[in-house]
Amino acid sequence: MSEPTPRHDPAHDPDVLRLAAELFDLARRGGTETLAAYVDAGVPADLTNDKGDTLVMLAAYHGHAATVAALLQRGADPDRVNDRGQTPLAGAVFRGEDEVVRVLLDGGADPAAGAPSAVDTARMFGKDALLELFGAA
């Protein structure tokens, strides 16, 4: 009787890890077209890194509204929290990325989701216009 062939674990495959790193970099840099093509080819729209940050979180935090919109159009969850309980919307509020905030709201993001939420973050930094936009003024 022969030994069973060990199953290949993609989570430890150097090529898969390199591709994942490139995808996260595309989100940070706003490589919208390339990132969208990867998602269209089967990469999960809610792919997360080792901190629980999704592609949307990274694109939102770095101010890439078009990338956020493309990911949301491909089914990414606008409210998916990272390992620290933060949402992309709260990250965009923190960074002052108003265009990203609007894209996320248009994509269904909940200003009350996460901890601290986008509402909490706007209050913390005195962003009254955003509180009004969130209906929390």
pLDDT tens string 87-126: 999 999 999 999 999 999 999 999 999 999 999 999 999 9
Half-sphere exposure of 21 (CA within 13 A, CB side): 7
Give 37's contacts (C-beta < 8 A, 6+ positions apart). Answer: none
% of the chain at pLDDT higher than 70: 92
Half-sphere exposure of 26 (CA within 13 A, CB side): 23
Q: What's the CA gap between 137 and 79, in Å, rounded?
A: 21
pLDDT, residue 60, reads: 98
Which pLDDT tens digit goes with each residue over 15-62? 888 989 999 999 999 999 999 999 999 999 999 999 999 999 999 999
Q: At what angle do helices 14-29 and 65-73 cross, to 10 degrees?
A: 120
Q: At what angle do helices 65-73 and 32-40 cross, to 10 degrees?
A: 10
Q: Hey, what domains does the chain have and what are their CATH numbers?
A: 14-133 (1.25.40.20)
